[in-house]
Chain A
Amino acid sequence: MKINNHSKQFIGCIAIAFVIVISAAGCKKDISSPAQSFLDQSQIFTDAKDATAAVTGIYTQLATLKNNVYDLVGVIGADEIRVTYFSHGWGDYWAGLGAFDDYDIKLNSQNQMNSGFWTTCYKGVVNANNAIAGLPATSFSDVSTKNRLIGEAKFMRALFYFYLVQLYGDVPLRTEATTASAGVKRTPKDSVYALIISDLKFATTNLWKKAQNPDPGRASVEAAKALLGKVYLTIHDYNNAKSVFEDLMTNNTIKLLSNYGELFDGQHENNNESLFEIQYSTDNKNNTQSLQNLYGAWYPCYLGQAWNSKTPDYGGQLTITTLYYSDSVWDKVHDKRYLLSIWPHHYANGGNLDTWDGGRPNSRKYDISSSDIDYSNSGKNLYYLRSSDVYLMYAEVLNELGQNIQALIPLNIVRGRAGLQNLETVMGAVPTQAQLRTELLDERTRELGAEGWRWFDLKRTGTLLSRVLQYNNPQVTYNNTAYATQQISAKNLVLPIPLNELQTNQALTLADQNPGY
């Protein structure tokens, strides 16, 4: 190919042009956008105000965990609250929720309620991990505030891990601020408990006392001690539990409200009895809970009752009580708590309903009050820990240590407030250790029914299988062989690890599932 002068010039131009493009390639001009409309994690923990706000976000995650159906985890599938059987027919999500109650084939690794609960808890863990990692480097004018915030983050991390370890057994233990996609193997539960205990010990020394806290909703020394005692009790370390509870009762203040009804009327939030409460509000910031919809009923509680979305107890008829919780556990004559906990009757079109799920008594602890918006938008707080729980746990600790006579003292404080006589008076003798164990379980359901601890109580006391089969078995309760029978078995002492965790956690395979699932 012959190239004349013009062509040479031209090719020269082109060459120059390409040199321009390619030499431009040498420049690495930064064209990042300076203006940002959100904060990056790296910016959060540089400023005391933002770091404080990041701790607030951990509480938000707890409120998210408890504001809807995940609140039923720990409540259903025990002996207090049942899921109505017809709700299984509303669609797969509800069938999956129902499986937490009757442990049927839907309680599998793809159960959405199960994976949702898991993920929501772990989001709480990562919120806390990020704060625990980031706070020490953040400058605060006041070190005790900074330590308090670290303590709050550790308290919250312990709280989330406490759910996870009880429900799933060995779980991936993540303690660092998340940076990469690396997988983490399932950590033996002893190590998980060790982290929970060390976090709570840190919290007991760095949190502020309830009375000194800037806001009533923040974790306090009292809350940390009560939770630490509960953790020790759960791992059956009774001596440590005893000393923590005694420390709490000696060095801090533990009180019961004189009127049990004030605990749940929505007008006495953050009261003296409350140790740690999950806060909700109707202040237009999406901070409401919708629990009445889960615990409420289709039919009025008494004839002529107004019945609309603002009526207390109006709800989805998703859960009802077992016969044990609605009837047999109560001294209906004397126990003031009975009618404050249970709506015993429901009426449809003037007649009493006696069909099996539709007219059953239900829990009334989540009924909205006049200051709430409607049955699915309530600002009513939830108790996580309150003083009567501490008294009953302390009684349990003493009983397990063989001090059944001393155990009666805290137990009778709780009974007395409810209008019941001392247990030994009613029984005519001091109960044996075994008798007191059963009595304490009954007392816990009367005092703390539907407050989220029952499944854990039964698992801790080794009574989950027997009590569920005895009290939460529709086929037996209704004497109708058509109903599916309660299918709980030993494998159900832990839940299945969600399938998506096994698939996305690079350190796990399908073989890391809990046995039987």
Chain B
Amino acid sequence: MKKKMVLVVLSMALFAIGFSQNKRVITGRVLDAVTRAPLAGATVNAAENGGLQTTDQKGYFSIHADKKFALLVSYVGYKVFKGEFTAADTAVIILMVTEASALDEVVVIGYGVKEKRKDLTSSISSISGREVSELPVTNIASAIASRVPGLEVHSNGYAPGQEGQTINVRGLNSIYSNGTPLYVVDGTIIQGDISNLNTADIASIEVLKDASAAGIYGSRAANGVILISTKHGSGAPSIDFSAYAGVQTPNPAYKMLGAKEYANLRRWAWYNADPLTYPLNTGKADSAIFNPLELQTIKNGYNGYDWQKAVTNPRALEQSYSLSVGSGNAQNRIYLSGNYLNQDGILKNTNFKKYGAHFSIESTLSERLKAGGTINFSEALQKGVDATVYQQSLTQSPLQPIYDSTGHLLINTDRSSGTLTIYNPVANDINTINNYTQDRGFGNVFLEFSPVKNLMLRSSLGGDLKEEEYDKYSGSNSTSGFSSNGTGEIYKVRTTDLLWENTLTYFYTKGNHNFNSLIGYTSEKTNQSTADIQGSHFPTDLLNFKDIQAAEQIVASSNYIPTKKNESFIGRVIYKYKGRYVLNVTARYDGSSIFGQNNQWGFFPSVGAAWRIIDEKFISDKLKNVISDWKLRASYGIIGNANLPYTAIYSQYTNATYPFNGASSSSGFQPTDQVANPDLKWERQHQSNLGMDMGFLNNRVSFSVDVYNKKITDLLMPLSLATSSGYATQWVNVAAAKTNGVDFSMQVIPVQQKNFEWRMTFSWAHYNSRITALFPNRDSINLALRVGQPPAGVLVNYINDGLYQTGDNFTLNPGGHPGDIKIKDLNGDGVINAYDQTIVGYNTPKGYGGFQNYFRFRDFTLSVLTAYSYGAKVFNPINDELSYFASNFGNSANVTTAGGNFWTPTNTNTNVPAPNAYAASLKTLPGGPAQGSSNAILSGNYLRIKSVTLGYTIPETMLRKLKIKSVNIYAQAIEPFLLSKYKGLDPDNGNPTQVENYPRYRSFLFGFKMGL
């Protein structure tokens, strides 16, 4: 690997030299006068000495000159620089003084159009590439979480390569799930996630939040739109190399009982189940309760085994390298990059590797013709094990040895402890394979033709091709492979998405009038096919899934999803009058094959307006000394939603077989769980937004506030059908919901001096989502799903009323004992049944967001990124399941140290039920421990330091002789602190029952970035 890397560096360096050899070149650099931060994309006009060009990512530009020359440098937000130089000035440094603020920053608003932030009529949040690459994430969603007000990102797992995935933009938009936002990378719509994109290649991210912004993406924008612009080459050739490496250390949330306490627990459990056979404290029962190996451990003075330690690495390494080359002039701009990431998992035998390459080119072929394209290739390899290994290690008996006397893994086939098969979490970690590979390529090519001035015709063809493979194997020496002598599976998914977009844009300025208009037609096709082979009874474990044809039993299946088509006609006009009044009108006519023939098309208009009050004459110059920016924005629009499974309009029949003669099967058909609804139509979201942006004291203090309202009609939802219908769901279009919310963000620069700078940003968001109508004549389906309640995240459960004590009345729990869980008889009818459930909390935060502090002292920087959320409740039954003996992990499972404080006749002041080998004390939980009670509803409040980064930029004067443009080194701690009362792995997760199966960790990294 190392050798290869050197070769790549060499060849790229040669390439760069070749580029700049022809003439004598004078290199200059454009920097911020105060921060000395390089300004990328600044316009440098050298007149006859090299014409017009833009600075590169590091602020560099180069010109060809042999005598005196003049430079005119402009950059949005800065005062124009004019100056004269001579050829003797080998290093030209141009310091730019800020004019206003980030308001002049250019924001991408979709379909290749950029606007200055000050002219926006809509609610758009931007994150720069520098901010994105600050966190070493494998998924971009994690990088933008807590930076964008109104964007909620929840982790769906902590295994390497599996980061935040559940994303809500501005509240709960749906009853069944909150589909991911639409990702658009350089104009190409990307299906699902964008984890394969390297953060170092990102120039900026824009999150479109209201109808005026997102409306141009119409039907696809119901869950928000995230536009990603990747880097393009500009200015003189530059090479950037960045790398980081570090260690992750486990951060265990669940502490389990030690050997002696555990033995005590088991004895109590069997005593409580059957006191005559298993008397306490006599030692007589031990031989019946424990297996011989466990007895040996007891005999050896409870010298137990730490299973959690046995399946986790005390330290796991991670490393990442990116190399990019960029170059651009008036004719051609190219950008090439490659990256590699390797992250070992805290859970043994887990790992994530990613290889990626990114390439973009743009060429101006003639005055009228421009062409270009972007390609991104990647391969991600996620190596995993049986998903339950971590929970197994928590619950495994600490008395049970891991290895036998010869040092081999102990394979326990003794069934007396209630385990049905062999059970050794370490063996399950070693002998199971759960791998995921994703090969993906996406990109686009475009042609821009400008027949007359200000008119541009653009056609672009984009594609996203994805091959995924899941390889699984459970060896004959693992719990799940034991009884069937090895089970394996190969599951492949192939997804293709092709997008053809044609737009016509026209710019027009006359006097005070400025028009920017666009019309277009887009067409998209999506295909997916899957193939699955499952085998069992393998002749050997050595070849595992790779030799699946050797399995005795093989079951194959495949699925081919019909082509999903979207066609759209779009139109947009942005009109500005005197630069103070902005009007944005957007319309979109969308067709989708997901609906039945009569309802495929929908029309979705939106309108937005902005008023730059600050530019009005009545704002005096004196006032401008205090108020430096003031803008009002308003928008209203309708956005369509077609987030449906492709089967929703069908009553699908699926294959079934039956061996009529007891031997060979005849093929048959069975209906699936879903009933067709051919009348499904577009869901319509009526969104309105009112926003205000203000800046004070030359924008040292600025804030942005947006108030919004979303009314969803014809809400798409999968209706749970009566189980007696024989079906499970039917998609319907009858309900309505609304969301009100506020997004707030603020930036303060308390200190801004040459040697010391302090910047603070803060974001906060709040929303309230409610169902406003369900069915004609029916406003409630169950306790959770009813008018007046949020469409999702309503936690319904029984009220935990402590434990039964000696002498209590047991009418509610016939046959019960003291120490059993007590459920409150809410309606007092003398029976615990469904009437006793109630709403015990909401899984929606009252407020959430983040804040960041950035300090710079001379060449040192310190950045602290913090995220917070409050007011949400999290349903985490896993904590109770791990604390209650014999809940769901079998009746020899270990429990948490909290679970060690269980009820006994002398320890009655506890809420942990008496352990019972026959689980008798848990039977009062009507839905079982997995549904739990109000005891499993935990506070989801948290404050987390997401990262602390200490950086040092080596002064340029030291680097000049080495011909290095820039070097930055940094040390970073990722998620070092979490302040939360939550019991479990992480309060910030999408679904604890799925997530709490991988240990959490902290990372400490060291990295450097170098520019040549």
Contact with B along A406-447 (1 / 0, CB 8 A): 000000000000000000000000000000000000000000
Q: Does B721 contact A (CB under 8 A)?
A: yes
Please name the residue on chain A nearest to B570 by beta carbon.
A21
Q: Report chain B residues within 8 Å CB of A130.
A: 671
A17-B519, A39-B669, A281-B659 as given contacts; A31 in contact with B567, CB under 8 Å: yes
Q: Report chain B residues within 8 Å CB of A35.
A: 562-563
* Interface magnitude class on chain A: 35 or more
Interface pair A56/B919, CB less than 8 Å apart: no
Please name the residue on chain B nearest to A348 by beta carbon.
B416
Which of B360-368, B660-668, B972-980 binds A?
Answer: B660-668
**Which one of B420, B569, B670, B775 contacts A21 once the chains associate, using CB atoms below 8 Å?**
B569
Which of A195-203, A225-233, A334-342, A373-381 binds B?
Answer: A373-381
Please name the residue on chain A nearest to B925 by beta carbon.
A92
Please name the residue on chain A nearest to B596 by beta carbon.
A32
Give B919-950 interface residues, CB cut-off 8 Å to A: 919-920, 922-931
Interface pair B656/A171, CB less than 8 Å apart: no
**Which one of A21, A55, A92, A484 contacts B887 once the chains associate, using CB atoms below 8 Å?**
A92
Q: Does A347 contact B (CB under 8 A)?
A: no
Please name the residue on chain A nearest to B889 by beta carbon.
A91
Interface pair B676/A31, CB less than 8 Å apart: no
A25-B601, A86-B917, A89-B886 as given contacts; A57 in contact with B656, CB under 8 Å: yes
Q: Report chain A residues within 8 Å CB of B653.
A: 38-41, 44, 54, 57
Interface pair B571/A17, CB less than 8 Å apart: yes
Please name the residue on chain B nearest to A39 by beta carbon.
B653
Determine the distance from Cα of A404 to Cα of B961 in the docked complex, in whole angstroms.
116
A24-B589, A285-B555 as given contacts; A181 in contact with B661, CB under 8 Å: no
Determine the distance from Cα of A309 to Cα of B485 in the docked complex, in whole angstroms.
9
Please name the residue on chain A nearest to B650 by beta carbon.
A40
Please name the residue on chain A nearest to B665 by beta carbon.
A285
Q: Does A283 contact B (CB under 8 A)?
A: yes
**Which one of A37, A92, A96 contacts B562 once the chains associate, using CB atoms below 8 Å?**
A37
Interface pair A57/B670, CB less than 8 Å apart: yes
Contact with B along A252-281 (1 / 0, CB 8 A): 000000000000000001100000010111
Determine the distance from Cα of A38 to Cα of B280 in the docked complex, in whole angstroms.
62
Determine the distance from Cα of A17 to Cα of B929 in the docked complex, in whole angstroms.
61
Interface pair B661/A270, CB less than 8 Å apart: yes
Q: Does A470 contact B (CB under 8 A)?
A: no
Q: Report chain A residues within 8 Å CB of B555.
A: 284-286
**Which one of B591, B720, B923, B925 contacts A500 once the chains associate, using CB atoms below 8 Å?**
B720
**Which one of B504, B724, B782 contacts A184 once the chains associate, using CB atoms below 8 Å?**
B724
- Chain B nearest Cβ from A18, distance in angstroms: 6
Determine the distance from Cα of A388 to Cα of B221 in the docked complex, in whole angstroms.
67
Q: Does B276 contact A (CB under 8 A)?
A: yes
Give A370-414 interface residues, CB cut-off 8 Å to B: 373-377, 379, 381
**Which one of A27, A122, A284, A480 contacts B276 once the chains associate, using CB atoms below 8 Å?**
A480
Interface pair B508/A110, CB less than 8 Å apart: no
- Chain A nearest Cβ from B587, distance in angstroms: 6
Please name the residue on chain A nearest to B417 by beta carbon.
A86
Interface pair B920/A88, CB less than 8 Å apart: yes
Q: Does B833 contact A (CB under 8 A)?
A: yes
Q: Does B453 contact A (CB under 8 A)?
A: no
Q: Report chain B residues within 8 Å CB of A22.
A: 587, 589, 603
Q: Report chain B residues within 8 Å CB of A215.
A: 660-661, 666
Determine the distance from Cα of A422 to Cα of B567 in the docked complex, in whole angstroms.
81
Give A301-347 interface residues, CB cut-off 8 Å to B: 309, 316-317
Determine the distance from Cα of A38 to Cα of B655 in the docked complex, in whole angstroms.
9
Which of A70-78, A361-369, A456-464, A504-512 binds B?
Answer: A504-512
Interface pair B562/A283, CB less than 8 Å apart: no
Please name the residue on chain B nearest to A35 by beta carbon.
B562
Q: Does A287 contact B (CB under 8 A)?
A: yes
A55-B668, A283-B664 as given contacts; A217 in contact with B659, CB under 8 Å: yes
Q: Does B561 contact A (CB under 8 A)?
A: yes
Q: Report chain B residues within 8 Å CB of A31.
A: 565, 567, 591-593, 600
Q: Does A216 contact B (CB under 8 A)?
A: yes
Q: Does B517 contact A (CB under 8 A)?
A: yes
Q: Report chain B residues within 8 Å CB of A136.
A: none
Q: Report chain B residues within 8 Å CB of A282.
A: 553
Q: Which of A375, A381, A506 has the most CB of B within 10 A?
A: A506
Give B529-561 interface residues, CB cut-off 8 Å to A: 536-537, 552-555, 559-561
- Chain A nearest Cβ from B293, distance in angstroms: 14
Interface pair B726/A126, CB less than 8 Å apart: yes
Q: Report chain B residues within 8 Å CB of A55.
A: 668
Determine the distance from Cα of A421 to Cα of B67 in the docked complex, in whole angstroms.
127
Determine the distance from Cα of A39 to Cα of B671 in the docked complex, in whole angstroms.
10
Q: Does B815 contact A (CB under 8 A)?
A: yes
Q: Report chain B residues within 8 Å CB of A3.
A: 513
Contact with A along B495-510 (1 / 0, CB 8 A): 0000000001010101
Interface pair B567/A487, CB less than 8 Å apart: no
Q: Report chain A residues within 8 Å CB of B277.
A: 355-356, 480, 482
A6-B508, A89-B919, A122-B725 as given contacts; A20 in contact with B657, CB under 8 Å: no
Please name the residue on chain B nearest to A129 by beta carbon.
B726
Determine the distance from Cα of A269 to Cα of B135 in the docked complex, in whole angstroms.
66
Q: Report chain B residues within 8 Å CB of A189.
A: none
**Which one of A37, A106, A217 contacts B559 once the chains associate, using CB atoms below 8 Å?**
A37
Interface pair B659/A499, CB less than 8 Å apart: no
Determine the distance from Cα of A282 to Cα of B563 in the docked complex, in whole angstroms.
36
Q: Report chain A residues within 8 Å CB of B919.
A: 88-92, 95
**Which one of A18, A91, A279 contacts B659 once the chains associate, using CB atoms below 8 Å?**
A279
Please name the residue on chain A nearest to B537 by beta carbon.
A373
Q: Does A251 contact B (CB under 8 A)?
A: no
Q: Which of B562, B666, B891 has the most CB of A within 10 A?
A: B666
Q: Report chain A residues within 8 Å CB of B511.
A: 4
Q: Does B301 contact A (CB under 8 A)?
A: no
Q: Report chain A residues within 8 Å CB of B563.
A: 33, 35
Interface pair A91/B593, CB less than 8 Å apart: no
Contact with A along B108-124 (1 / 0, CB 8 A): 00000000000000000
Q: Does B781 contact A (CB under 8 A)?
A: yes
Interface pair A36/B562, CB less than 8 Å apart: yes
- Chain A nearest Cβ from B815, distance in angstroms: 5
Determine the distance from Cα of A214 to Cα of B485 in the docked complex, in whole angstroms.
37
- Chain A nearest Cβ from B61, distance in angstroms: 36
Contact with B along A463-498 (1 / 0, CB 8 A): 000000000000000001011110100000000001
- Chain A nearest Cβ from B736, distance in angstroms: 17
Please name the residue on chain B nearest to A119 by beta carbon.
B723
Q: Does A1 contact B (CB under 8 A)?
A: yes
Q: Does A50 contact B (CB under 8 A)?
A: yes
Interface pair A17/B517, CB less than 8 Å apart: yes
Q: Report chain B residues within 8 Å CB of A36.
A: 562
Determine the distance from Cα of A279 to Cα of B661 in the docked complex, in whole angstroms.
7
Interface pair B669/A54, CB less than 8 Å apart: yes
Interface pair A21/B519, CB less than 8 Å apart: yes
Q: Does B814 contact A (CB under 8 A)?
A: yes
Interface pair B669/A270, CB less than 8 Å apart: no
Please name the residue on chain B nearest to A1 by beta carbon.
B577
Interface pair B889/A57, CB less than 8 Å apart: no
Q: Chain A: residues with CB nearer than 8 A to chain B?
A: 1, 3-4, 6-7, 10, 13-14, 17-18, 20-22, 24-25, 27-33, 35-42, 44, 50, 53-57, 59-61, 63, 85-93, 95-96, 99, 104-106, 108-110, 112, 115, 118-119, 122-127, 129-130, 171-172, 174, 178-181, 183-184, 214-218, 269-270, 277, 279-287, 298, 309, 316-317, 348, 355-356, 358, 373-377, 379, 381, 480, 482-485, 487, 498-506, 508, 510, 513, 516-517
Question: Mind listing 6 A-B residue pairs with CB under 8 Å?
Answer: A28-B600, A31-B593, A33-B565, A89-B273, A96-B928, A105-B832
Given contacts A21-B588, A95-B928, A500-B720, 20 further A-B contacts (CB under 8 A): A17-B504, A25-B603, A31-B567, A32-B593, A36-B562, A38-B654, A41-B671, A53-B666, A56-B666, A57-B656, A89-B917, A92-B927, A105-B923, A105-B924, A215-B661, A217-B662, A279-B659, A281-B662, A281-B663, A381-B662
